[in-house]
């Protein structure tokens, strides 16, 4: 039996004692993250928001096996934030997911409605497809989460029948709004409300497709709404890094309405996403200091290559910068690339590794 088939369905229970320490850690990290963001100059705050939204859009799609162009996602996010004058976007799917994550963050204070969920779902499927966008699933076949080849399928979960979805979602939306910070059944601990909201929605699985992506923005909406402020974090980035663990935790949680282990798991995901955001904010500050120190000393080619490396974020530019890569990015000759790289090294912008043809460079940030 699945959780929705049991008598205590929707009466989620948990033991607070093993969660308490995580809730305390969440409170500390929330304050630190908010303070770190506020300490950044306004332009850097906007840049950090842009980077978080791009990461969220890309990673929530990768969890579902869809790989999008970072350039198209970035252009869409910048358009949505009013940072660029209508940058071209080739992939309408990249534009759709960028619209979803941006809209969810900008409207987090609003009560949840069926119309909002339908709007988000339509953003995921902007082009004509077999998926009926913007309405609950209605097919008579069971909605199952399945793996394995044809004839050897393994059923991990089966959601409530389609004819139950409208009433289930009506109750879910009512629950979501009642448990908000101003609701009559308010859940005051943001991670707990976020964890339950995600599990509850994923169990109903109301759409033909796109449930995971919508479910993750619901979790983020619940978190920010309960806190009463928008924080910079990306649950999908953390989930994607341990995708199997996420599905295993979700599958286990959908077998019972006693969900202590699920809340512990999901709160840990939130804490890890906050840690990644802290790294991003620190990285943004490092970038600002770097350009303040050397921007007037670099030519256009060097700035272009430096920006390309910085785009990779805290994880760094894979393999370092080499003369060959520099030639390709800057569209220049080997002699010019070598000369530019040596100048960057002399200025202390780059740190060199290896020698001769094996020389590569990484960015050296100021202290």
Nearest to 213 by CA among 319, 345, 58, 91: 58
Report the pLDDT value the prediction gives residue 316, as an integer from 0 to 100: 87
| Whether the Cβ atoms of residue 110 and residue 127 lie closer than 8 Å to each other | no
Is 291 part of any domain?
no
In a shared domain, residues 37 and 121: yes
Q: Dump pLDDT digits (tens) for 316-366.
A: 888 999 999 999 999 999 999 999 999 999 999 999 998 887 899 999 998
CATH code, domain with 274: 1.10.3290.10
In a shared domain, residues 274 and 326: no
Mean residue pLDDT across the chain: 93
Which helix (DSSP H) or strand (DSSP E) does residue 360 occupy?
A: strand 360-363
Nearest to 112 by CA among 226, 222, 227: 222
Domain hosting residue 306, numbered range: 298-363
In a shared domain, residues 63 and 92: yes
In a shared domain, residues 248 and 344: no
Is 290 part of any domain?
no
Q: What is the mean pLDDT of residues 235-244?
A: 94
Q: Dump pLDDT digits (tens) for 194-238.
A: 999 999 999 999 999 999 999 999 999 999 999 999 888 999 999
Q: Dump pLDDT digits (tens) for 19-50.
A: 999 999 999 999 999 988 888 888 888 988 99
In a shared domain, residues 305 and 276: no
Q: What residue has token string 């009466």?
A: 11
Output the pTM of the full model: 0.89
Report the pLDDT value the prediction gives residue 220, as an integer from 0 to 100: 97
DSSP 221-280: HHHHHHHTS-----HHHHHHHTHHHHHHHHHHHTT-SB-HHHHHHHHHHHHHHHHHHHHH
Distance CA 13, CA 304 (A): 54
**Residue-wise burial string across 247-256, b where 16 or more C-beta atoms lie within 10 A, e elsewhere:** bebbeebbeb
Distance CA 210, CA 93 (A): 12
Report the pLDDT value the prediction gives residue 223, as an integer from 0 to 100: 97
Q: What is the mean pLDDT of residues 241-264?
A: 96
| Whether the Cβ atoms of residue 326 and residue 341 lie closer than 8 Å to each other | yes
Report the pLDDT value the prediction gives residue 37, as an integer from 0 to 100: 87
pLDDT at 188 over 80: yes
Q: Across the strands, what pairs with 270? A: none
Query: CB-based contacts of 251: which residues, under 8 Å, 6+ apart?
Result: 145, 156, 157
Is 213 part of any domain?
yes
Percent of the chain with pLDDT over 70: 100
In a shared domain, residues 272 and 330: no
Q: Which two tokens stand for residue 330?
A: 């800057």
Report the pLDDT value the prediction gives residue 183, as an integer from 0 to 100: 94
Report the pLDDT value the prediction gives residue 89, as an integer from 0 to 100: 94
Helix (H, G, I), strand (E, B), or coil: what is residue 63? helix
pLDDT at 6 over 90: yes
In a shared domain, residues 307 and 266: no
Helix (H, G, I), strand (E, B), or coil: what is residue 156? strand
pLDDT at 72 over 80: yes
State how far the alpha carbon of 330 is from the alpha carbons of 153, 261, 296, 322, in Å.
50, 51, 18, 12
Is 289 part of any domain?
no
pLDDT band of 16, cuts 50, 70, 90: very high
Q: What is the mean pLDDT of residues 276-285?
A: 89
In a shared domain, residues 165 and 208: yes
Region of residue 115 (left: phi > 0; alpha: psi -120 to 50; beta: else): alpha
Among residues 260, 283, 306, the one where a domain terminates is 283
pLDDT band of 151, cuts 50, 70, 90: confident
Number of structural domains the chain divides into: 2
CATH code, domain with 302: 1.10.10.10
Percent of the chain with pLDDT over 90: 77
Report the pLDDT value the prediction gives residue 39, as an integer from 0 to 100: 84
Q: What is the mean pLDDT of residues 293-298?
A: 90
Report the pLDDT value the prediction gives residue 129, as an integer from 0 to 100: 80
pLDDT at 288 over 90: no
Q: Dump pLDDT digits (tens) for 82-130.
A: 988 789 999 999 999 999 999 999 999 999 999 999 999 999 999 888 8
Helix (H, G, I), strand (E, B), or coil: what is residue 133? coil
Q: How many CA atoms lie less than 13 Å away from 161 in the CB half-sphere? A: 4
pLDDT at 302 over 80: yes
């Amino acid at each position: 039996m699945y959780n929705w088939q049991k008598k205590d369905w929707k009466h989620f229970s948990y033991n607070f004692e093993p969660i308490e320490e995580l809730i305390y850690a969440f409170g500390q990290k929330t304050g630190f993250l908010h303070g770190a963001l506020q300490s950044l100059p306004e332009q850097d705050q906007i840049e950090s928001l842009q980077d978080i939204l791009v990461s969220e859009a890309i990673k929530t799609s990768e969890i579902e096996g869809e790989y999008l162009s970072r350039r198209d996602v970035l252009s869409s996010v910048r358009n949505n934030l009013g940072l660029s004058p209508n940058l071209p976007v080739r992939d309408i799917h990249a534009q759709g997911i960028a619209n979803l994550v941006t809209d969810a963050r900008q409207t987090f204070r609003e009560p949840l409605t069926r119309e909002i969920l339908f709007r988000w779902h339509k953003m995921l499927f902007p082009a004509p497809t077999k998926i009926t966008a913007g309405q609950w699933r209605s097919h008579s076949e069971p909605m199952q989460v399945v793996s394995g080849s044809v004839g050897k399928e393994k059923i991990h979960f089966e959601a409530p029948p389609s004819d139950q979805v409208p009433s289930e979602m009506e109750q879910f939306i009512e629950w979501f709004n009642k448990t908000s910070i101003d609701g009559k059944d308010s859940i005051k601990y943001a991670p707990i409300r976020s964890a339950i909201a995600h599990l509850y929605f994923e169990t109903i699985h109301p759409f033909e497709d796109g449930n995971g992506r919508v479910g993750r923005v619901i979790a983020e909406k619940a978190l920010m709404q309960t806190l009463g402020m928008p924080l910079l974090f990306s649950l999908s980035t953390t989930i994607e890094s341990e995708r199997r663990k996420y599905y295993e935790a979700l599958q286990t949680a959908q077998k019972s309405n006693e969900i202590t282990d699920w809340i512990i798991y999901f709160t840990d995901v939130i804490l890890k996403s906050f840690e990644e955001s802290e790294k991003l904010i620190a990285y943004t500050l490092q970038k600002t200091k770097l350009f303040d120190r050397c921007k007037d000393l670099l030519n256009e080619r060097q700035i272009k290559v430096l920006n390309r490396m910085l785009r990779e974020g805290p994880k760094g530019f894979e393999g370092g910068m080499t003369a060959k890569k520099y030639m390709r990015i800057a569209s220049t000759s080997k002699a010019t690339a070598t000369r530019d790289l040596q100048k960057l090294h002399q200025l202390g912008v780059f740190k060199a590794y290896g020698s001769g043809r094996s020389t590569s460079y990484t960015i050296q940030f100021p202290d």
